[in-house]
């Protein structure tokens, strides 16, 4: 029983967990359950869920190694496969971005490699595609996993990893012309003509507008090599509007050294020292380290935005000020030109790099903030880090500009006070802000994967028995009179320790791991995509291998 391990989900998190588990010197018996009919791809990279026009926002150079790097795998693919996705073999490079479905095929190949590697190392791995897990029951000495295929008690395991990843609604079009998600992409392909409203301006929203645009027209290169868009003859009234509170487009991917440079002031050691002092003043003290790092690396930028007069509550306003005062398409064109030039000449913009190399270090404080500072962090400061690491492929910006030049795309700034309403008697939705009302024939919520709470977990026994609980944080400093008796507030997510082991009422469930990113976002806001999947997989596998070694030692000592 002790060596029986279950991984629920075979996307990147499950794959990287498997990669690290099979490093174990002790033979393991691993079962992988996958709800989809094909294992080893992951929902964000499945065909059908994703349109070929949807690009992944991670280049080959940033994908943690499994068996083979993405660029080498691509160069081995048949010409017909590459042509299907518009990939030119001679132009394949480690900083290029490729369609999500291509990454799905790549991960599937790496998954098969790991299965062969596991067998060679003496591990037994059973993969069960098309098996959706319906419940998990934690009992003494074992965890039962039940699938929809078997209504009996289920299979017993010594360790279980929930690596279910993204969770999209089963029904996307909840009302005529109203879509609560841009996935699956196939649901959007029927949208023809009319006014399309899309909530969001990030890559998810850009992906959505690209999917609908390719159903209503074509992207073509003109004689000068510029990307253009032409509407199809039967979609003449097609027009899309991207909407967000700030009304800003994401910036184009920029050049920065990989691996990250090491900060000089805002270091892990410095931040950890602040954490050790407790939650009082932690956010402001960390911002001071960040400000010093930014000033050191780019004094001209610091002077330009008046950094010396800013604090954690005002920095974001200064960060976005110039961009907010410029037409978003004009900004996108200028930013794209700069990003392309810098990428060609390997030029790093110091202030951008400073934010990039400190975002994971700053994130270390989030689980330790009190409620007041947790809210302050989320209100504004968090967004500037997200803006930097959520830059988008150059081709995505080129496509956006092509749609704008064709007169079929606009951007609407919503502000903080707006309302989205549906009318039972008509398609789409109405968006109202101040004195402006916009009516859309079709509306798509493309704000991306939201953070989930413990109550959202699809395994009823874990909820009913309170095995999973919401992640807590300390209440505001003003409410406790004794530092040794601090009250807590529950924020959502699932309460886990540093090894992603589930915590139940203060007690560790040492054999149950939550590696599902939507349930970790409350306290780990910068968890992102494939790199985070690899980090989580390494930590979880290392914890399990360490736990098995302790069990073996105990058995030897008591034999």
Q: Do domains 4-58+100-167+450-558 and 173-248+398-445 have the same CATH topology?
A: yes
pLDDT tens digit string along 215-242?
A: 999 999 999 989 999 999 988 799 999 9
Using a cut of 0.85, tell me whether the model's pTM lies above it: yes
CA 10 vs CA 7, 34, 113, 129, 132: distances in Å: 8, 6, 14, 9, 12
Structural contact between residues 180 and 172, judged by C-beta atoms closer than 8 angstroms: yes
Question: What integer best gives the mean pLDDT of the chain?
Answer: 91
Stated as kind and residue range, the H or E segment containing 507 is strand 507-514
Strands of 22-123 (E only): list them: 29-34
Asked if pLDDT for residue 435 goes beyond 90, the answer is no
pLDDT tens digit string along 147-160?
A: 987 655 578 999 99
Asked if pLDDT for residue 263 goes beyond 70, the answer is yes
Q: CATH says 4-58+100-167+450-558 is which class?
A: alpha beta
CATH, domain 173-248+398-445, list 3.40.50.300, 3.40.640.10, 3.50.50.60, 3.30.1780.10: 3.50.50.60
User: At which residue do the structure tokens 């002077």 appear?
Assistant: 303
Specify the pairing of strand 409-413 against strand 429-433.
Answer: unpaired
What pLDDT does 184 receive?
Answer: 87
Long-range CB contacts for residues 232-239, cutoff 8 Å, separation at least 24: 234/192, 234/193, 235/192, 235/193, 236/193, 237/193, 237/194, 237/195, 238/192, 238/193, 238/194, 238/196, 238/213, 238/408, 239/194, 239/195, 239/196, 239/407, 239/408, 239/409, 239/410
**pLDDT band per the 50, 70, 90 thresholds, residue 475:** low
What pLDDT does 301 receive?
Answer: 98
3-state helix, strand, coil in the chain (%, to 5): 40, 20, 35
Domain boundaries, the chain: 4-58+100-167+450-558, 173-248+398-445, 268-389
pLDDT tens digit string along 493-519?
A: 889 999 999 998 777 778 999 999 889
């Amino acid at each position: 029983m002790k060596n029986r391990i279950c991984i629920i989900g075979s996307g990147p998190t499950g794959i990287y967990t498997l990669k690290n588990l099979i490093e174990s010197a002790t033979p393991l018996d691993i079962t992988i359950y996958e709800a989809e009919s094909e294992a080893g791809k992951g929902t964000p990279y499945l065909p059908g869920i994703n349109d070929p026009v949807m690009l992944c926002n991670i280049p080959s150079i940033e994908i943690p190694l499994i068996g083979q790097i993405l660029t080498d795998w691509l160069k081995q693919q048949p010409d017909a496969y590459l042509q299907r996705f518009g990939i030119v073999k001679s132009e394949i490079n480690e900083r290029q971005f490729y369609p999500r479905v291509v990454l799905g095929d790549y991960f599937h190949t790496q998954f098969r490699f790991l299965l062969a590697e596991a067998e060679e190392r003496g591990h037994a791995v059973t993969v069960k595609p098309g098996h959706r897990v319906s419940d998990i029951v934690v009992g003494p000495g074992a965890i039962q996993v039940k699938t929809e295929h078997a209504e009996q008690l289920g299979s017993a395991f010594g360790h279980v990893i929930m690596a279910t990843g993204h969770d999209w609604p089963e029904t996307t079009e909840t009302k005529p012309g109203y879509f609560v998600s841009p996935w699956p992409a196939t649901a959007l392909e029927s949208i023809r003509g009319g006014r399309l409203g899309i909530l969001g301006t990030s890559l998810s929203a850009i992906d959505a507008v690209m999917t609908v645009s390719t159903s209503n027209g074509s992207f073509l290169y003109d004689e000068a090599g510029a990307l253009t868009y032409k509407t199809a003859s039967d979609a003449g009234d097609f027009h899309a509007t991207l909407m967000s509170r700030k009304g800003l487009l994401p910036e184009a991917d920029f050049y920065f050294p990989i691996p990250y440079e090491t900060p000089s002031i805002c270091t892990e050691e410095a931040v950890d020292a602040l954490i050790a002092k407790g939650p009082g003043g932690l956010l402001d003290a960390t911002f001071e380290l960040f400000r010093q790092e930014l000033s050191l690396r780019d004094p001209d930028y610091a002077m330009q935005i008046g950094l010396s007069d800013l604090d954690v509550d005002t920095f974001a306003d200064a960060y976005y000020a110039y961009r907010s005062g410029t037409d978003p398409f004009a900004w996108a064109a200028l930013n794209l030109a700069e990003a392309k030039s810098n990428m060609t000449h390997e030029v790093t913009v110091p202030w951008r790099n400073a934010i990039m190399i400190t975002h994971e270090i700053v994130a270390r404080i989030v689980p330790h903030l009190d409620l007041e500072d947790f809210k302050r962090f989320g209100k504004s400061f968090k967004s500037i880090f997200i803006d930097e690491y959520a830059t988008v492929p150059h081709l995505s910006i080129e496509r956006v500009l092509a749609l704008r030049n064709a007169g079929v795309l606009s951007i609407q700034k919503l502000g903080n006070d707006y309302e989205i309403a549906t009318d039972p008697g008509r398609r789409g939705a109405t968006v109202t802000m101040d004195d402006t009302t916009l009516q859309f024939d079709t509306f798509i919520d493309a704000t991306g994967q939201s953070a989930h709470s413990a109550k959202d977990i699809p395994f009823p026994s874990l909820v009913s028995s309170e095995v999973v609980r919401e992640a807590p944080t300390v209440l505001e400093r003003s409410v406790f009179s004794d530092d040794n008796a601090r009250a807590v507030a529950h924020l959502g997510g699932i309460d886990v320790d540093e090894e992603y082991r589930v915590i139940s009422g203060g007690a560790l469930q040492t054999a149950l791991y939550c590696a599902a990113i939507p349930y970790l976002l409350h306290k780990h806001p910068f968890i992102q995509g494939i790199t985070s999947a690899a980090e989580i997989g390494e930590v979880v596998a290392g914890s399990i291998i360490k736990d098995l070694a302790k069990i073996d030692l105990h058995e030897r000592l008591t034999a």
